[in-house]
Every structure is written in structure tokens, then in C-alpha cells.
A and B are shown apart, each in its own frame.
Chain A
């Protein structure tokens, strides 16, 4: 997030696109509710009639994967109506002249054809957002998990730049992070092209800095992203994988493809707290500790580094991940000597300026938001106050590109996948909580009543859903939530894994898979004779 959660309540317009906030980030929703109680207006853009739509002043039901067209049309209206921040554009951005030309063709009429959203609604949303003093945009994987995910994010950035909604309190471009420490894992550079603190591995000066800090020669070759690792394993180029606390055998798109790849590896180590679907394929399984059994820090969606504390002893001989990795490293001839976990955190500060000012002592009571470069720095609730890292922000011209796999005669439905309120990710934790399983016991597919009617499907009837990659049997939940022609399956349930069906198409820039759009067919089950 460029801004903070506590700033949400002072938004006068909240624009939520591609986020089922009440279910996936309930506490962020409470902040939004506070703003609504104070009179803020809510714009929701989502292909499903999610709960949030009930509270929306405008709900835009765009067809899945058409966000660029929708956002371009909103910007088209803003420009036509003069609801742009000319001073901000002049002083803090570049490329607006060419950019505004690129918006010309995205009239609300044109966008209506692509997105299915009536032009009046597009105009209404644009006017609401454009007239706001402090408008914040909030999104999640509904924006990013597309083969044009990066472009979707650029479109959001363009919109906030054009209206000067950046670098000011209670505005911003705010992706809501889905996992407790996904911000931290990125900051710590569990990424193939970066060192900790987003420093590029292919710049020699930076590499030298890390070589000195770690006292070792480092590779100058950019590594493989997770989806590329799977492909490399299938091709036989990748021989071994070490997987710590992840379950790609259920969370990857097209899991048949992933399982085949993992099986092909010469050697697979999985370190986890449960025997996950991925661990079942491993050569060695290593028992690790869960959050309640260790000390350290998590970084939340607003860049706040917060203390995690050990409350209980781990079961059996399970060990902390840090112990396991340092022991292994020692055996491979590289000894990482840390006398405490806090010492690791201090080392991070030595290689990344933005956390130098954060110490365990300072975050004893409440976490601090990076950048925090000095010990007396209070942290940074919102970014870009004084300017952008690259100087002037660049508008990026975008053209709507359809999703990689669109419905056709054989596979006439669009399948979207995602989370629901009660379960979490591949369910290795939540599906072991009895109470949660009572209210969320099994997988289901959300299908529009008109579609169900046409196919003769009854509520709770088991049906077959297939794509070009696989098929599953799953219970139908007839619901007004999805639009006609769209179905939704939560991806938590391995017994009818949504990712048997999903498409492996990747965004060319950041390699995110298109988990939000693929084509499927729905059939009634044949009665067994």
C-alpha cells in the first residue's frame, strides 16, 4: 500500500476494484465502514455481486479481465470533464500529452461494449472519483492475477496520478496483501531478480555490495520465478527444489502440470508444519514451527514491521525454519553465525537502508512502517510525499488486451477462482480447525440461476466442471453472485481443486498466472448404471 490502513477512514471516496474485501480482508473492510459512516462514497468494480456491492454507491459489474478498458474509460471521462489535477500532472509526472491521446478511443460507449458496464455507470463512477478530495483505490488479486495483470496495475496508477491522488494522506494505490508476510518475503528478496530491499542482482555495484556483506561470490544471473521453475523441472533442467512453507501442488495454476514437474525432480525437500500435498511428493520432509512457536517479525500490507513472539513450544522435534536453514548451510560449507534472531534483523538493516531505524526495542509495542532510515525516524505512513523514486512519475499508455483464454463453444463459461471468508489458501491450517470445517465443509461452484436453469442444474447438485487442462466434480451453489456466463470456485479444497482447471498463462512482465480467467464447460454428471 502507498498509504496506511488507518487513513482509510478519512477517504471521501473509496474505489475497490478486484477485491472481495469483506471476505478476504475483513478488518480493512471495517476501516472502510468507518469512512462510510462518516459519509464517504464507495465505488465497487467486481464481476461478482460480492457483499461489498451492497454498500456501494456505484457497483460496476465488469466482465472478468476487462479492467483496462473500464479504467481507461473512467479516465476518458475525467479528462473530458476536466476533473484532473493539472498542477500535479505538470510538476510530478511526465508523458501525459501522449497518454491523454491514448484515452481518446476509450469512450464510455466503447467501454460498455467491452466490459458490459452501462456507460451511465462508468460516468457516474468517474464523476464520483474525480470530484473527491481524498480518493483511495484498493485492489487485490482480482486486478493482478491476469495475463495483463501488470497493465491493470498501471491503469490504476495512471488513474491516481491523473487526479493527484498520490503522495497525500488518505489517497493512494493500495494493493491489499493476501498473506501475513507476503510483503516481508518480497522485501527480503525471496525473488529471483532482486537482493533484499529491491536491489537488482544484475547491477555489478549492488552485487559487489552484497558479496562484501556476505563474504562470498554471488551469481550475476537472474534466477527463475516460481512458474518458470516448474517449467524448468519438466524440461529436466532443474534437478532439485527446496520448498519452505509453500504448497504449489495445490496453489499453482494447472496443478497436474505442477505435480508432474515436482515428480520429475531428482530431489525435492519440503519444509512445513503439515504433510501438505507438496510434501507428499518430497524426498525429505522437514518439520518446521508455526507462527506461535517462534520469534521474529512480519511486515503487513502497509509496510509495518511488527513483532512476532513465541508463545508455545513446538510439537515433537519440530524446529524453527531459521535453525534448519543455518544448520544446512553450515553443512554446505557456508556458516551463517547468528546468536539470536534479532541479529538477523540487524543484518538486514546493514544491507537495506529503509529498515535501519527499526529495532526490536522500537517495535516492542507497535510496529513501524518502512522506509525508516534512522533510529529517530518515525516511519513512513504514506509514500511519495516529497516525490517519486524515479523523479517524475511516468504515465503508461495501455490498450485493452483480452484474457489468454476466452469462452468458446466447447468451453462456454469464464471461471474465476479466489478465496472465501472462512478458509485460507490451500487449507493446510484452516481445514484443520473443526469449527471452520463445520461452516465451510466442502468445495462448491457459484453459478448464476439463469445458467443453472438452462443447464437443468439444481442447487447442491454435483456437477462436472472441465477445462482444457482437467476436470473436477463439485457441488453447485446457485447464486446471484456471479453474472451469467461466469462461475467461481474457491481454491482451498483439494478434493475438487479449482487449480486442476486454471490456466498457466503468465503476465509477461511479472509472471503472475491468470488465475482469474479461464474457459470451462459445465455438465451434469452421468448417472452411473
Chain B
């Protein structure tokens, strides 16, 4: 264990803890942009600078390990002035289009600019325009990525490197990295091609600015009037915790919290595979067959459907001459009547039920109870084998 003092407070932490972690464990706040608790420290943004007694210049707290008897100062007019300057430099070539930015309200950069009272460089919106305290050249990226998941607005990138690290250290994919040097530095896939990866969106989740956002989130709503509901992902059996962001009865975004079994990480399906919920093909009323089975007409529908398939619009076809809509009472009465008749004529074992691994425990319990207690058969199974 190491004993040290931070802002006059005596604290004890484990060996090899960083000064930043030591401070945060003791509820002492230090601003950061590039640091992420689940990634290796980088020391890139220079906001986490602190003064250490005996060292002439400020050091980055995220990359400095604690040592015995260390005396650390995390805030002073001198440090805050330096931090403000760093932020002003970062914002000197930022588009400052927070009014229309997807990330507004959930942006670490915006929040720090607010706390440090940064005046926006003027004029703010025009690309390539000059202005502000550190008026100067602006990075202009006109290329937009063609991938359907991740919007990369690279003029908003502050080169914190979180996306690069998460892609390499956590995912083991390494789809992006820093390229070029100095002012021309940027983060991109090899040869500046379009992103072609597993599209897990971990980079989007860790981006502290609006540089990386979800393409399908665009203009669906930001922070206002959003209801957040914690639930479980509907895809594989890992059972990742997800948070559905809902606006006006529509799921507009999916995220995951850090303190979950999946540690906040998701895959492409969990993060971006939610648009089926509001899909126009959803069944909305009970349907009763009007076309007889195995007729030419039924065949015709099948083949016309096959045609749509080859046009890669797989799942749309007209159902009106096969089914008619019915009320709940009519549909349920009809099913009950048919099942009763079959049970009386052929016995309960002439009826079987398949339940669903997509449904909840409660629904599965009710379904098997229905088959066993109401129908009277053990003919009940589900898709565990497929």
C-alpha cells in the first residue's frame, strides 16, 4: 500500500495505482477527455495535469503512478489556467455546431467547455472559418463514411484515441489507428478507406465528443423527452444488459451501462439491431386463413413471394387473399373451438405445442402449463436443439 497526500487529504491506495485513479477513488475530481477506466492510460489530452511537490512541471495524473509520501495538488489557479488553455486549443478547430450536434447534452467536451467558461471561437459554424482566442486553421473533412452504422464526423475528433484503444485492447479488432502527424493527425481505417469492421460500436460508446455517433440515431432525438428503460438484449444467450432510449413510443437508441455483466460493451446486433421493433411488417391483428391450404392459389403466393425475395426485399408479400383480419374474441374462440374438437376426437396427444426461447420465463411457464394442464399433453418442446 502507498500513502500519499492529494490536495492536503491523506490517502492510502494500492501499489501501482495512478494518481488519477487514487484521486477519483477518494472523490477528488480531475477533468479528463482521453482517459477511460477500462483502457490503458494515454496522457494525450493533458487535462488531467497535476502538480507534484518536487517535480518542477505539471505531470499527467493518468500516467503517473503513486509513490510513497507523494504530495499532489489537483487544482490551483495555475493548473486551471493551463486546463482552460488546453480546452481553448482543442476547441480552436472544433466546428462548435452543438446546436445541431447529435451528442449535445451528452458530450464531455461540451460539458468541460461549459464548466471552464470557454468562449466559442467566432465565427463558429462555417467550415474553414477563423475566430476565437486561438484563431487559426481548421481541419476540414468532407468525406463521409459509407458504412450504415457509425457516423464519423472527424472534424469533431479531438484525437483522444479512446476509439483506437477500445478497438484494439477490448475487441482485438484493430480496425482504426492514428495516421499522419501533427495538425494533420487523424484516426481512420487503413488507407483512409471506409470503415469495414464488426460494427460493434464500442468506439461510439467511448467517444467523448460528437465525432462518432450512430447513423440510425440521426434526428431521432437527443436528451430531451427521452425515457431510459433498462432491460436485456433479445439476441444471443449472453444476456447483456441494455438501456433502451425511448422517445414518443419509439426506441431511438440502445446503450449499455458500465456496471453490467457485459461491462457496457455490446455487439452489432445488440447496439444497432433494434429497428425491427417498429417495423411496418409487425403483426397487429389476429389473422384467420381464408384460402384453403395446398391450393394453386397458395402456391401462387409462394412463388410471387419468391420473386420479391430475389429482389432482395425478402419479407414483404400481400396476405390479403390468404388471411382475413379478425377480432381477438373471434380468433380466440375459433382456436379454442378447434382445439376442443380435436382433443375430443383424437385425444390430447394429437395436439402439440412449440414454445419460444425468445419469450420470457413467465410466458414459457404459462405456455407449458397450458399444454399440460389445459390441453392435457406433454407434447411440448422448444428450439433448444436448433
Contacts and interface: CB of A to CB of B under 8 A. Distances in A.
A317 B270 CA distance: 26
A191 B380 contact: yes
Given A307-B232, A334-B373, A439-B199, A322 B362 contact: yes
A429 B359 contact: no
Main secondary structure on A side of the interface with B? mixed
B374 to A, nearest CB: 4
B357 A182 contact: yes
A341 B331 CA distance: 23
Contacts of A326: 366, 370
Contact of A345 (B232, B342, B359, B361): B361
Contacts, number: 467
A28 interface: yes
Contact of A242 (B199, B340, B353): B353
Nearest to A187: B361
Contacts of A30: 170-171, 262-263, 265
Contacts of B236: 24-25, 176-180, 424
A1 B234 CA distance: 19
A279 B284 CA distance: 14
B355 A244 contact: yes
Interface string A265-290: 01101001111000111111111101
A184 B364 contact: yes
B381 A229 contact: yes
Nearest to A435: B148
Contacts of A145: 385
A348 B251 contact: no
B287 interface: yes
Contacts of A280: 301-302, 322
A225 interface: yes
Nearest to B267: A26
B273 A221 contact: no
B283 A188 contact: no
A186 to B, nearest CB: 6
A30 B272 CA distance: 18
Given A328-B335, A347-B365, A248 B354 contact: yes
B235 A180 contact: yes
A243 B235 contact: no
B75 interface: no
A434 B215 CA distance: 11
Interface size grouping (class) on chain A = 35 or more
Nearest to B345: A239
B382 to A, nearest CB: 4
Given A180-B358, A263-B294, A325 B309 contact: no
Given A251-B386, A332-B340, A433-B276, A316 B284 contact: yes
Interface string B199-240: 110000000000000011000000000010111111111111
B358 A181 contact: yes
Which of B199, B251, B363, B368 has its CB near the most chain A CB atoms (within 10 A)?
B363
Interface stretch (B45-53, B94-102, B312-320): B312-320
Interface residues of B, number: 123
B60 to A, nearest CB: 23
Contact of A317 (B285, B301, B306, B377): B285
Contacts of B383: 179, 182, 185, 226, 246, 248, 251
A212 to B, nearest CB: 12
A292 B363 CA distance: 14
B4 interface: no
A430 B269 contact: yes
Interface string B320-351: 00110000100111111011101001101111
Contacts of A449: none
A172 interface: no
Interface of B: 147-149, 169-172, 198-200, 215-216, 227, 229-241, 244, 246, 249-251, 260-263, 265-270, 272-279, 281-289, 293-294, 301-302, 306, 309-310, 312, 314-315, 319, 322-323, 328, 331-336, 338-340, 342, 345-346, 348-386
30 contacts: A37-B169, A188-B361, A188-B365, A192-B380, A210-B372, A225-B381, A226-B381, A226-B385, A229-B379, A244-B359, A245-B358, A246-B383, A280-B301, A283-B338, A284-B287, A285-B323, A287-B285, A298-B360, A306-B232, A308-B232, A308-B360, A309-B229, A310-B229, A311-B227, A320-B363, A328-B374, A421-B198, A421-B267, A422-B269, A495-B310
Given A287-B286, A344-B362, 4 more contacts: A30-B171, A196-B365, A223-B381, A309-B230
Sorted nearest first, the 7 A-B pairs with minimum C-beta distance are A316-B284, A300-B239, A177-B237, A245-B356, A296-B360, A223-B378, A287-B283
